[in-house]
Amino acid sequence: MTTLHNLTIKKFHEGLRLKDFSALEITKAYLDHIDARDSEIGAYLSLSAKEALLQAEQADLVLARGENLAPLAGVPFGIKDAILVQGEPATSGSKILADYRAAYDATVTSKMRLSGAVFLGKTNMDEFAMGSSTENSAFKKTKNPHDTSRVPGGSSGGSAAAVAAHMALAALGSDTGGSIRQPAAFCGVVGLKPTYGAVSRYGLTAMASSLDQIGPITRTVADAGIVFRAIAGRDVKDATTADVSYSAEDFEPNFEKLRNMTFGLPDEYFIDGLATSVREAIDRVVQIYNSFGVKFKKISLPHTRYALSDYYIIMPAEVSANLARFDGLRYAPVSGVDRHSKLEELYVANRSQGFGREAKRRIILGTFVLSSGYYDAYYGKAQKVRRLIKNDFLEAFRGVDLILAPTTPTPAFKLGEKVEDPLAMYLSDVFTIPASLAGIPAISIPAALSPGDLPIAFQLMAPHFGEAKLINAGNYYEQAVSGQAI
Ligand code: GLN
């Protein structure tokens, strides 16, 4: 029997065609489940139930007319609050945007509308996507559905928790240094960070523009491929999007392609801080791929050790520029701020009261590394190091097809465990940041449960625009462990 617990996009569409259920029934089931469960989990910041039901009815109409279903027809989604859905709140987890509603649709939103998606609501996130636990949200803390004393990861923690707790069939997140992959890993779901330039960011509230990418969080690898193909592509409204077409054929399961591959295992990702449970889980993943015929090769990405520090120069620099636009005059007023007779005083009051601690920390850090006396020493140098990190990957991909590594050094940590120690928090992204700096695609896939029943994940990284290879390789792993056909 199909229940929300074993539903995937593929099964959902099969069920619709067989008339096992209607799209409306399924959307209602998700909304009911949100009603029952989300007071405990806190995945959503706002719901758009009425619109969702209308969208679901549309899918049923299309089907009743005997037309083909669009790729996301009737699929109930949670959307990270940084992604604009016209008329809906878009707070980005910040008090400074608490009363803002999106004036237009993001490109991914309009593409998903065209593909028939249903929008259940907007999901919680760290303020302006800055964090690894969703504890930096100005509104609430999201809990990990596998253990509510633990964090769901971040910054797309609401999206990952929604999918993991069956409060959405799929979700969108954004990843600047790991914010799709790390929460997907902590919540036991799949997260794909596309190649930089594969998906338009028009209508995504920017964090660090040279790194931000939107991508899917789903229950299966195949579903991630379906959502990715619906949102990818060149967009005239985002000049960084590339004119790359992904052919449907590339996304068809192809065992021949996989079994002839060589995967790289980077020395630098198997470090002392790696939890034993994670190391063991990765060993088992390697065995499974080995059994398919995949060959493994040890590789070195020597500049990996600079990636975290490099990111914490480049990212805050861009954050400080991007967040300059929030002054409490544009977008929405900041509640609780008194009137001021001087404009500057008003700006100061709005920004002091509107931004949280982490946002302020990064604005200050970013402004410092961009200041005239330090620009070359910090920002300029960081850009050069970034190039070296990217070169490491380009060099490695001459000898291997994909790179396999853990997504995170440990399973989900406790709520409150790292909030007072930003450096410890930053370290949870040490394995996801390098791919972000290099702009390459990477997917996080559930590998195992730890002794305490917490999800552990592995990550596959591919050369630029190699998403189809990630999906193909991920599909067969999933099939092997679940015993279900692709
Ligand atoms: N956790 C990382 C940070 O705090 C990554 C955030 C992200 O990818 N948006 O910057």
Please write the tens of the pLDDT for every residue from 394-436: 999 999 999 999 999 999 999 999 998 988 888 889 999 999 9
For ligand 1, whether the C-beta of 43 sits within 6 Å is no
User: CA triplet 414, 416, 418: central angle to 5 degrees?
Assistant: 85
Taking only the tens place, the pLDDT of each residue in 144-162 is 999 999 999 999 999 999 9
DSSP per residue, 84-99: --TTSB--TT-GGGTT
Taking only the tens place, the pLDDT of each residue in 226-244 is 999 999 999 999 999 999 9
For ligand 1, whether the C-beta of 207 sits within 6 Å is yes
Q: Name the residue with the closest Cα to ligand 1, atom 5.
A: 177
Query: pLDDT above 90 covers what percent of the chain?
Result: 91
Q: Catalytic pick from 110, 179, 200, 428?
A: 179
- Whether 1 has a pLDDT exceeding 60, the answer reads no
For ligand 1, whether the C-beta of 131 sits within 6 Å is yes
Q: Name the residue with the closest Cα to ligand 1, atom 4.
A: 131
364 CA to centre of ligand 1 in angstroms? 17
Q: Which of 200, 271, 290, 282 is nearest to 242 (CA)?
A: 200
Residue 88's CATH number: 3.90.1300.10
* Mutational pocket test of ligand 1: of 94, 176, 186, 310, the residue with most ligand atoms within 8 Å of the beta carbon: 176
For ligand 1, whether the C-beta of 310 sits within 6 Å is no
20 CA to centre of ligand 1 in angstroms? 41
User: 179 catalytic, yes or no?
Assistant: yes
Can you tell me the mean pLDDT for 54-62?
97
Q: How far apart are CA 274 and CA 253, in angstroms?
A: 32
Please check whether residue 223 lies inside any domain of the structure: yes
Please check whether residue 47 lies inside any domain of the structure: yes
For ligand 1, whether the C-beta of 155 sits within 6 Å is yes
Q: Catalytic pick from 48, 80, 111, 122?
A: 80
Taking only the tens place, the pLDDT of each residue in 314-339 is 999 999 999 999 999 999 999 888 87
What range defines the domain where residue 95 resides? Answer: 4-257
Q: With contact defined as beta carbons under 8 Å apart, do 97 and 90 qualify?
A: yes
- Whether 484 has a pLDDT exceeding 80, the answer reads no
* Mutational pocket test of ligand 1: of 92, 124, 132, 426, the residue with most ligand atoms within 8 Å of the beta carbon: 132
Q: Catalytic pick from 48, 110, 155, 159?
A: 155
Q: How far apart are CA 131 and CA 270, in angstroms?
A: 24
Q: Which of 225, 169, 278 is nearest to 478 (CA)?
A: 225
The reported pLDDT for the residue numbered 3 is: 77
Tell me the CB-side half-sphere exposure of residue 482, using CA atoms within 13 A: 16
Q: How many independent structural domains does the chain possess?
A: 1
- Which of ligand 1's atoms lies nearest the C-alpha of 182? 1
The reported pLDDT for the residue numbered 2 is: 61
Taking only the tens place, the pLDDT of each residue in 124-140 is 999 999 999 999 999 99
User: 155 catalytic, yes or no?
Assistant: yes
Can you tell me the mean pLDDT for 376-389?
96
Please check whether residue 291 lies inside any domain of the structure: no
Tell me the CB-side half-sphere exposure of residue 355, using CA atoms within 13 A: 23
Taking only the tens place, the pLDDT of each residue in 185-216 is 999 999 999 999 999 999 999 999 999 999 99
Query: Which pairing describes strands 262-266 and 76-80: parallel, antiparallel, or unpaired?
Result: unpaired
Please check whether residue 198 lies inside any domain of the structure: yes
Write the CB contacts of 49 (distance below 8 Å, at least 6 apart in sequence): 31, 120, 121
Q: How far apart are CA 257 and CA 469, in angstroms?
A: 9
Please check whether residue 326 lies inside any domain of the structure: no
The reported pLDDT for the residue numbered 202 is: 98
Can you tell me the mean pLDDT for 36-57?
98
The reported pLDDT for the residue numbered 415 is: 97
Please check whether residue 152 lies inside any domain of the structure: yes
For ligand 1, whether the C-beta of 175 sits within 6 Å is yes
For ligand 1, whether the C-beta of 429 sits within 6 Å is yes
Average pLDDT score, the chain: 96
Band of pLDDT at residue 252, cut at 50, 70 and 90:
very high
Please check whether residue 193 lies inside any domain of the structure: yes
Please check whether residue 213 lies inside any domain of the structure: yes
Taking only the tens place, the pLDDT of each residue in 257-300 is 999 999 999 999 998 889 999 999 999 999 999 999 999 999 99
- Whether 341 has a pLDDT exceeding 80, the answer reads no
For ligand 1, whether the C-beta of 132 sits within 6 Å is yes
Q: How far apart are CA 83 and CA 95, in angstroms?
A: 16
Give me 111's structure tokens.
Answer: 């593409």
